[in-house]
């Protein structure tokens, strides 16, 4: 719930009724010197409700000091975060990563216990890679002094995939001598009562479902009191959106309002049977007025029976947890169907390895072949099309032109293929074969779902179509998607060189006009995720005049520039500028005021390096020109 549960939003939810304890998002406690004012900003109570303040860190003395300040500021509960699964958090050794170090966990919680005279709690996942030690971890926390424990019954490895296994909550409730609070997949008010009945937990904690249904706490209170719970209709939903928008105007910086409103709508529209299409449409809209107008047209006349917002979940658009049996597949088809049989490489189809790469030619269900590349053991570069229409002459991927775009399940199938080989992925990038903006719908849905699963995803694009009936919003909407980085391949400073090197990409004029218009509308943090790419080619774009023309365009945007070296391929006579030429270009671009980043070694690998991937149409045998081999994927029929 980071970035969502601000004091203002908590107060707005509390006003609906039914809440017994409000919780803050986590406050990071790092190795840097503590600043009491930053910590105390979290301690803002809603009228008449107790407040739990969550802290996250791994330094016992600093966590204890922060806990003391939180208590002094008036918090009713101090909570420690042992559940956040996000990669950037886990890399710091905090959140769910603490579950891997029981000795440190005990030290930190014990130190906090010494500073907290009132209630101390912990919120944890069922484990990091497995749930075998969940009871032992719970017992350790009891020994360290927590007064109650909140459990989200997924492992860190699950992120938010699958369905929460409430049986784990029941096990802890039976075995531990402290109250257990259940959390996870309580999508409907009736689920909360069912969780308590099935698990024996003392209370429930509701997070993401409250963003989807702000009335869920009120509905739960009505169910408990024997009253008929409220059934919001489209007008009520629109009223909540307008109330949230007014609150953002009163409290949020202007540059972040549109993004935060879209984030809220992303959850609310899950209550519509066709909400995914509307959500993607709204993500492409540039301003608040257009967003609200489109939401009003879609929602104003919807009846309560057309929305999945009733207390019982009559439309069952979400898959709730259970403690009566092992979790089963979601009722609605997920973006990435599980493979009928996990793909296993046969001796004849072994992937090829470089020093920092693992290259995987992958045979799709129709016999087409693409390639994916694993960089440094944890970053997967996926292909988005069979071939490429952009036809860059220095790249092997477009040699045969474009055959077709990949479907959403075929994008996820590449991820599953690599996981089946035993690799744990931390990052994804849509930078393999194909132009992601030409496979717009599938790739946009993939990025959104990957963000929900906690897999940071970046992409590389030529800019996609700029002209055409549906083209102009594409790059603009992609700038705002929840990606982890978007790099626009430019490779030129003048139009003739651009037309030669990126023959089917947009011209520089309309491309930079769009970027000039859209980038200032992004928040500073979003702009930092945008970059330009310049692939240096001897005798093509390595002259000082061409570089200077590029610098003049790029300087206006105030974004980073990736200066790439070239990988030689058999289908092209083009070559890189050599080490001396590369260093001269790097120095020149820096001298003209650009933030320049150099090629990573993994990009220069002859096996799976940038520009070397190949695609092939359906055929009787795997396309194997090097030769190399791959993994054959047989997808099951779509799930009803």
Catalytic residues, which ones?
Answer: 84
Beta pairing, strands 631-632 & 357-363: parallel
Nearest to 98 by CA among 141, 38, 52, 154: 141
Question: What backbone torsions phi and psi does residue 205 show, to the nearest 5 degrees?
Answer: -115, 130
Contacts of 23 (CB under 8 A, 6+ apart): 5, 51, 52, 53, 54, 79, 205
Distance between CA atoms of 82 and 97, rounded to whole angstroms? Answer: 7
Query: Distance between CA 261 and CA 244 in Å, rounded?
Result: 8
How many Å apart are CA 270 and CA 206, to the nearest integer? Answer: 16
* R_g over Cα of the chain: 26
SS (H, E, C) 414-465: HHHHHHHCCCCCCEEEECCCCCCCCCHHHHHHHHHHHHHCCCCEEEEECCCC
Instruction: Tell me how far apart the alpha carbons of residues 418 and 416 are, in angstroms, rounded to a whole number.
Output: 5
534: three-class secondary structure by DSSP: strand
Find, among 337, 323, 355, 352, the residue nearest to 169 by Cα: 323
Measured between alpha carbons, how far is 64 from 116 in angstroms, rounded to an integer?
8
Secondary structure percentages of the chain, helix, strand, coil, to 5: 40, 15, 45
CA–CA gap between residue 530 and residue 483 (Å, rounded): 10
DSSP reduced 3-state for 520: helix
H/E run at residue 561: strand 560-564
Can you give the length of the chain in residues? 640
What is the DSSP-derived secondary structure letter of residue 616? B
Cα 622 to Cα 85, 400, 407, distances in angstroms: 38, 16, 20
Best CA proximity match to 179, nearest among 131, 127, 132, 142: 142
SS3 call for 307: coil
Q: Which residues of 584-600 are buried (b: 16+ CB within 10 A; e: fewer)?
A: bbbeebeeeebebeebe
Task: Identify the helix (H) or strand (E) that includes residue 144.
Answer: helix 134-144
Helices assigned H by DSSP within 284-366: 288-299
Phi/psi-derived region of residue 554, left when phi > 0, alpha when psi is between -120 and 50, beta in every other case: alpha
Instruction: With H, G, I as helix, E, B as strand and everything else as coil, classify residue 470.
Output: coil
């Amino acid at each position: 719930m980071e970035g969502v549960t601000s004091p203002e939003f908590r107060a707005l939810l509390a006003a609906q009724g039914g809440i017994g304890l409000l919780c803050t998002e986590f406050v990071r406690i790092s190795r840097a010197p503590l600043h009491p004012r930053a910590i105390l900003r979290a301690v803002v109570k809603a009228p008449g409700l107790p407040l739990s303040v969550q802290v996250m860190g791994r330094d016992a003395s600093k966590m204890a000091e922060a806990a003391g300040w939180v208590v002094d500021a008036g918090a009713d509960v101090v909570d420690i975060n042992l559940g956040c699964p996000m990669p950037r958090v886990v890399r710091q050794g905090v959140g769910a990563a603490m579950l891997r170090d029981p000795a440190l966990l005990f030290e930190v919680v014990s130190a906090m216990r010494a500073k907290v005279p009132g209630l101390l709690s912990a919120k944890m996942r069922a484990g990091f890679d497995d749930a075998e030690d969940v009871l032992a971890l719970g017992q350790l926390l009891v020994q360290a002094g927590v007064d109650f424990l909140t459990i989200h019954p997924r492992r860190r490895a699950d992120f938010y995939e699958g369905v929460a296994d409430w049986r784990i909550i029941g096990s802890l409730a039976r075995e531990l001598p402290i109250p257990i609070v259940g959390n996870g997949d309580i999508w409907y008010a009736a689920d909360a009562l069912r969780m308590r009945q099935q698990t024996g937990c003392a209370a429930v904690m509701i997070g993401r479902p409250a963003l989807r249904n702000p009335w869920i706490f009120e509905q739960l209170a009505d169910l408990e009191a024997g009253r008929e719970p409220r059934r919001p209709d489209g007008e009520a939903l629109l009223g909540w959106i307008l109330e949230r928008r007014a609150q953002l105007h009163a409290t949020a910086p202007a540059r972040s309002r549109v993004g935060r409103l879209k984030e809220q709508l992303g959850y609310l529209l899950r209550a519509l049977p066709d909400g995914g299409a509307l959500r993607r449409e709204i993500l492409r809209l540039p301003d608040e007025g257009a967003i609200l107008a489109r939401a009003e047209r879609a929602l104003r006349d919807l009846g309560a029976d057309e929305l999945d917002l009733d207390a019982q979940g009559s439309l069952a658009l979400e898959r709730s947890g259970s403690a009566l049996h092992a979790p089963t597949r979601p009722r609605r088809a997920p973006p990435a169907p599980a493979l009928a049989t996990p793909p296993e490489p046969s001796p004849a189809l072994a992937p090829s390895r470089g020093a920092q790469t693992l290259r995987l030619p992958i045979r799709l269900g129709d016999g087409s072949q693409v390639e994916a590349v694993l960089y440094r053991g944890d970053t997967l570069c996926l292909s988005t099309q069979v071939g490429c229409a952009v036809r860059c002459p220095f790249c092997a991927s477009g040699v045969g032109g474009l055959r077709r775009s990949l479907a959403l399940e075929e994008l996820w199938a590449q991820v599953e293929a690599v996981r089946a080989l035993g690799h744990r992925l931390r990052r994804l990038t849509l930078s393999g074969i194909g132009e992601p903006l030409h496979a717009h719908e599938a790739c946009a849905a993939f990025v959104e779902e990957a963000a929900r699963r906690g897999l940071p995803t970046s992409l590389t694009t030529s800019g996609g179509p700029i002209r055409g009936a549906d083209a102009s919003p594409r790059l603009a909407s992609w700038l705002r998607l929840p990606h982890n980085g978007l790099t626009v391949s430019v490779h030129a400073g003048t139009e003739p060189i651009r037309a030669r090197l990126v023959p089917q990409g947009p011209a520089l004029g309309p491309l930079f006009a769009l970027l000039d218009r859209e980038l200032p509308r992004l928040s500073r943090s979003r702009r930092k995720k945008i970059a330009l790419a310049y692939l240096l080619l001897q005798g093509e774009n390595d002259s000082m005049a061409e570089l200077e023309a590029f610098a003049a365009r790029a300087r206006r945007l105030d974004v980073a520039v990736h200066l790439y070296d070239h990988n030689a391929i058999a289908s092209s006579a083009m070559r890189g500028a050599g080490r001396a030429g590369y260093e001269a270009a790097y120095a020149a671009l820096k001298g003209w005021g650009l933030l320049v980043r150099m090629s990573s070694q993994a990009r220069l690998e002859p096996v799976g390096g940038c520009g070397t991937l190949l695609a092939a149409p359906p055929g009787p045998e795997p396309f194997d020109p090097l030769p190399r081999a791959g993994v054959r994927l047989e997808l099951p029929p779509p799930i009803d």
